[in-house]
Structure 1
């Protein structure tokens, strides 16, 4: 398993529920929706089936290099980003384990398949991966990178849980550096 680290570049983000001009614009564009229960639906590039990723008021939305919104929980965002001002933040660089198709099947991928609903779709390279994430089904192209934010193991090293997400190859290349 290789590792990568976020490049030291500022990222743009907003906190959901602050009703900023930008949040209103995203609502008008349909990239955000507010559900009847007050939660948000975030429509990122990977969203399929017309159901947005679920986020709570107070969570954050970061923007990819091409303007797609991506939710981050309040706890994760505030623990991993420093504010720079005016909606700009610096992500604290931490090495993250990664996986690509070229890496072959590893125990973490088997766990994701068996316990987290990760599936492969060789017949559709543009939606090769799919998994239930953020309350909806997300897909990613065959060249995407899977980032492992946390791999929780018991004292014997058995995997108990994995927090992960897909990142498009072009976005990965712009925003991450390989460490090994």
Structure 2
């Protein structure tokens, strides 16, 4: 993980991360963290699990909603996503940490922000396409739900980077491979 000497651990910036997300969403969140001289918390929400207990740093013990389909790999932060975040944030100069949380995405991100007393929550949108239209609908709902339920700023970063530079719109990690039949 990256470090920034003398970085304060107070009021971190929380950014929601997921496979396939544009890299510039995380980079913009890192810029905010650098400006606030604070930590960046890269939170991935697993909606198929729920929290059974949590720590003051926002980390959780979780259980699957449906124990018949439990997969213990869901408990740990995705290694490919973490490696991709490491590459993206390598030159950012900010201290950051990955965190897996559970539950409804908007509720979980809002609760995490409350738990760590975040300066803000950063979320991104997805590219527009037929499938992206459905994702966009749900992402807009996440941003709207956060905006209506939070007392802290919610920053929504568009899917396309300013100028539409393809290098800045590369996903943080490729989507998971499809299971073979």
What TM-score do you get using the length of structure 2 for normalisation? 0.30
The structure with the largest strand share of the pair is 1
The structure with the largest helix share of the pair is 2
What TM-score do you get using the length of structure 1 for normalisation? 0.30
